[in-house]
Amino acid sequence: MSWNEVIIEVARDQAENLSDALMDCGALSVSVEDADEGTDAERPLFGEPGMAIEQAAWNRSRVVALLAVEIDHAALVNEAAQICSIDPHTLLYTLRAVAEQDWVRLTQSQFEPIHIGQNIWVVPSWHAAPDPQALVMELDPGLAFGTGSHATTRLCMEWLELNTQHGCSVLDYGCGSGILAMVAKKCGAGQVVGIDIDPQAIESARFNSERNACEIAYFLPDDYGTSNGPEFFDIVVANILSSPLKLMAPMLAHRLAADGALVLSGVLERQADEVIAAYAPFISLSVWAQRDGWVALSGRLETAGG
């Protein structure tokens, strides 16, 4: 079986409505891309849960619609344009054939083993570990966030590799795939707990930990109590986003044991000062490292007389 892709370049204020109209008219899928990708004009878009993003598309957006090969693409584009009150004659588009492929093999080819820090390898199940003697985690891309490819995850992994003490307790809040909890465990941590608001993430993290022979307890926030594990932890790590991190400042700081260390990421460089300020009443944080416009913040709880 084969398909066609219709590729339309539009202004930012047209991209979202046109995408919806194309789906309504019979497109199998629609994506919006930056038409300036790979040029000096390329611009990132960032948004956070609970907050409206400043713009929903790029100044020059590329709308890509996937169609069954038997669909009359010209008629579909015309119909979608009329729904959006766009003159069809102003929509310039190109048609690209999409041939049948081994999509599983193609997808797998895009994910190679990732070397992180000094001695960490994240290896998809279809690859052999480049260094079996290293700290190796078998982890496939999935629905839960965290495969080590994103800068924020890498920063936290590097911190844990350098700072996890043998036998210490670790809380991974917003654990996603469980990757940070597993790094801590493989670096010698004792009791490790992962918490996430997404039941699917909890399921994924448990599966990944079992596959990697890591004994870690995972919970939804309301399901965790002192009967399940420590009230206070030697290390608390949270790789989320700046807005929820600021809201959770009292809760995360309260989870720290005496002299405990807090590590936060998911914070853009320009957001670092406001996150540090949110935690200032509880713990002094500073930028530990940065990568690709993101930072990791860390600090240690100062006990009385310490």
Is the per-residue pLDDT at 178 higher than 80?
yes
* Same fold across 3-100 and 149-300: no
- CA distance readout (Å), 239 to 102, 154, 188, 195: 34, 10, 20, 12
Q: Which CATH number fits domain 3-100: 3.40.50.2300, 3.40.50.1370, 3.30.70.120, 3.40.50.1820?
A: 3.30.70.120
The contacts found for 107-113 with CB under 8 angstroms, 24 or more apart, are 111/140, 111/141, 111/147
Question: What is the Cα–Cα distance from 81 to 22, expressed in whole angstroms?
Answer: 8
| High-pLDDT (> 90) share of the chain, % | 65
Q: What is the pLDDT of residues 249-266, one digit of tens each?
A: 999 999 999 999 999 999
Read off the pLDDT band of 51 (50, 70, 90): very low
Q: How confident is the model at residue 38 (pLDDT cuts 50, 70, 90)?
A: low
**Residue 106 clears pLDDT 60, i.e. is over it:** no
Separation of alpha carbons 190 and 81, rounded Å? 60
Mean pLDDT value across residues 33-37: 78
Q: Which residues pair with 31 in a beta bridge?
A: 64
Token reading at 49: 């849960």
pLDDT for 50 equals 46
Query: What confidence score (pLDDT) does residue 276 get?
Result: 98
Single-letter amino acid, residue 191: Q
> Where does the pLDDT of residue 49 fall: very low under 50, low under 70, confident under 90, or very high at 90 and above?
very low
Opening angle at CA 169, ends 163 and 173, nearest 5: 90
SS3 state at 150:
coil
SS3 category, 156: helix
Residues 6+ apart with CB under 8 A from 90: none
Which pLDDT belongs to residue 162?
Answer: 97
Residue 143 has pLDDT above 90, yes or no: no
Q: Quote the CATH superfamily of domain 149-300.
A: Vaccinia Virus protein VP39 (3.40.50.150)
- Residues recorded for the chain: 306
Question: What pLDDT score was predicted for residue 42?
Answer: 60
Domain limits of the chain? 3-100, 149-300
Q: Is the dihedral of CA 115, 117, 119, 121 positive or negative?
A: negative
185-222 per-position pLDDT tens digit: 999 999 999 999 999 999 999 999 999 999 999 999 99
Mean pLDDT of the chain: 87
pLDDT of residue 35: 75
pLDDT grade, residue 11 (50/70/90)?
Answer: confident
Q: What is the pLDDT of residues 227-242, one digit of tens each?
A: 888 999 999 999 999 9
Q: 12 falls in which pLDDT band (50, 70, 90)? A: confident
Average pLDDT over residues 115-144: 82
Among 139, 220, 130, residue whose Cα is nearest residue 180: 139
The model's confidence at residue 269, banded by pLDDT at 50, 70 and 90, is very high
Span 89-101, pLDDT tens digits: 888 899 998 876 5
